[in-house]
Amino acid sequence: MAGVLALAILLVVTVNRFYGHSTIAFTLAIVMLLVANAPMVRFNCPQCGKNAFFRGPLVVFWPNRICTRCGHDLDRPDPSQNR
């Protein structure tokens, strides 16, 4: 996610430098960030559904190992997902 954020900023700065202000560059940057954020949104606790990346109102780059709402161990493999 941090790499995609840096790439999005670099895209906007580069386009602004060579072509001037462009809403297309901002739109592409937002789409890139949304696509990169999609896997983080789906990583929820299997028991209570709380997202593992949220620490109160903040979002961090690494998930919790233990759910802060129900205490479920998120490092343990889920037996219902046989792959």
pLDDT tens for the chain, 83 residues long, are: 789 999 999 999 999 999 998 899 999 999 999 998 888 888 888 888 888 888 888 888 788 888 888 888 888 776 665 54
* Together in a domain, 9 and 21: yes
Q: Whole-model pTM? A: 0.62
| Partner residues linked to 51 by β-bridges | 44
Does residue 26 sit in the same domain as residue 60?
no
The separation between CA 54 and the C-alpha centre of its own chain, rounded to angstroms, equals 10
Q: Is the dihedral of CA 13, 14, 16, 22 positive or negative?
A: negative
> How many domains does the chain contain in total?
2
**In terms of residue numbers, what domain contains 69?**
43-76
Q: Return the structure tokens found at 44.
A: 């929820």
36 within some domain: yes
